A and B are shown apart, each in its own frame.
Chain A
């Protein structure tokens, strides 16, 4: 089954404790992105990748890191999480960019206390 998987689905952590949210897709997609969703603010793009070893900042990259060492995986790293990073996070992938819809993972609800 074609899908984007994210782990964990739920995470409660404390300020400053490094964490990684994994994202993997099995569709051989070139493009992958991370978004955060906050009430009333829609989805905001954190980082995106157009291929292996090619990443770029989205609209809200501060406090996040990403890497794309393999085509299928695009982990999101929070080196020192803070309470303002409490949010719902989505990973998404698409075959190409302009004309292809994005396939979304199920979301990761992160709470930083």
Chain B
């Protein structure tokens, strides 16, 4: 069964600094996808970045990058040059090829960016 663990309920970062949000996962499927979503205080869910299990390179999208360590089963989100607008809840999620409709989310990390 797939499982996502986010061990940081809350994180603080100074504006303009980088921050890493942790995500570890568990799966027996060799083929899977990992996703990060952002939920601002307004409540909507926003897709940030995707990493496939067979991707050789770490995914990047603007200021977001995913530090994918397959052997350690970790998929940490790195936000560079934090902005006040990055203050939000962040969720790590996974989908497996063998049951692509099923999706598992972590409990989330609340990030607060300080001015």
List which B85-110 residues lie within 8 A (CB) of chain A: 91, 93, 95-97, 100-108
Contact A41 B107 (CB under 8 A): yes
B47 at the interface (CB under 8 A from A): yes
Chain A nearest CB from B2 CB (Å) reads 10
Bound: A92/B52 CA distance, A: 20
Check B44–A104 contact: CB distance below 8 A.
yes
Residues of B with C-beta under 8 A to A56: 101-102
Task: Select from chain A the residue with minimum beta-carbon distance to B47.
Answer: A101
CB of A33 within 8 A of CB of B91, answer no
> Which A residues lie within 8 Å of B6 (CB)?
42
Chain B residues within 8 Å of A92, by CB? 45
Q: B47–A102 contact, CB under 8 A?
A: yes
Contact B32 A45 (CB under 8 A): no
Query: In the complex, are the beta carbons of A99 and B91 less than 8 A apart?
Result: no
Q: With a CB–CB cut-off of 8 A, which chain A residues contact B31? A: 98
The 9 closest A-B CB pairs, nearest first, are A97-B100, A104-B45, A101-B47, A48-B101, A43-B105, A42-B107, A50-B101, A42-B105, A98-B33
- CB-defined contacts of A107 to chain B, threshold 8 Å: 43-44
Residue among B6, B9, B37, B95 facing the most chain A CB atoms (10 A cut-off): B95
Interface size class of A (residues with CB under 8 A): 20 to 34
Q: Report A's interface with B, CB cutoff 8 A.
A: 31, 33, 35, 40-45, 48-50, 56, 58-59, 88, 90, 92, 96-99, 101-104, 106-107
A45: chain B residues within 8 A (beta carbon): 102-105
Question: Is residue B50 within 8 Å, beta carbon to beta carbon, of the partner chain?
Answer: yes
Given contacts A97-B97, A104-B37, 17 further A-B contacts (CB under 8 A): A31-B101, A40-B9, A42-B108, A43-B91, A45-B103, A48-B101, A48-B103, A50-B101, A96-B100, A97-B101, A98-B31, A98-B32, A98-B33, A98-B95, A98-B96, A101-B50, A102-B35
Complex Cα gap A25–B9 (Å): 32
**Quick check: B32 and A33 within 8 Å, CB to CB?**
no
Docked pose: A49 CA to B93 CA in angstroms: 18
